[in-house]
Structure 1
Amino acid sequence: MTMTTKRRLITDSFKVMKKTRRVQREKRPPTPPQKEEENNTVTQQDEELRQLKQFDLEWKYGPCTGISRLQRWERAQLHGLNPPQEIRELLMRTNNDPQFTSR
């Protein structure tokens, strides 16, 4: 007695999908260089933001979650941690810009 059983393949259980072709995207031309005047203003703002981010990373001034940068500076001053005065001046000068006041 020989039993003949039909051999099951994995493709019997799953739908066969055709591969789709990937569309080649066109390469974008390089962006033109900015004018020198624009670079100077952006550079100053970038430098100020870099200073604030450095202040955010300083653990000696306490945790920075849940409060604004100015509140954190004032709390550090209250506890005698001597945060940089330049940071407070920068925060006071840019207090209406949310990019500067919070992380």
Structure 2
Amino acid sequence: MGRKRLITDSYPVVKRREGPAGHSKGELAAEPGEEPQSPSGDVDEAELELLRQFDLAWQYGPCTGITRLQRWHRAEQMGLDPPLKVHEVLRTHLGDPRFQCSLWHLYPI
């Protein structure tokens, strides 16, 4: 009968290049021409996580179809006491869609 075919027989073998010295496994290397991530990247990630949690908090109403800042103002007008930290983060990143658009903005309504 012959050898049983494996799914890996359909794909070429790709050898991975050795990374630069000090590159730890599981960490993404910077793309060519891209600057390494600054220490403020950790702050940005923490702020984005805060905004994601705000998106998932049902007590401030639905978050689809409006920006996070609009949702924050709506919740404030309704007396729902949205977190002031969220408002501060949104005001410091006014032009950045990563901060202004809700978690669900890529999904059609």
For residues 96 and 53 of structure 1, what CA distance do their matches in structure 2 show?
18
The two structures have a TM-score, normalised by structure 2, of 0.66
The two structures have a TM-score, normalised by structure 1, of 0.69
| 2:13 pairs with one of 7, 21, 24 | 24
1:61-76, aligned counterparts within 5 Å? 61-76=60-75
Flag structure 2 segments of 5+ consecutive residues without an equivalent: 1-8, 30-35, 103-109
Tell me which structure has the larger Cα radius of gyration.
Answer: 1
State, as a whole percentage, how many aligned pairs show the same letter: 39
Higher helix proportion (structure 1 or 2) = 1
State the 1:73 CA deviation: 0.3
For residues 51 and 96 of structure 1, what CA distance do their matches in structure 2 show?
18
Q: How many residues align?
A: 82
* Local SS of the residue matching 2:71: helix
For residues 56 and 67 of structure 2, what CA distance do their matches in structure 1 show?
14
Flag structure 1 segments of 5+ consecutive residues without an equivalent: 1-19
State the 1:28 CA deviation: 4.0
Query: After the TM superposition, which segments of 4 or more aligned residues of structure 1 sit over 4 Å from their partners?
Result: none
* Local SS of the residue matching 1:23: coil
Quick one: higher RCO (CA 8 Å, sep 6+), 1 or 2? 2
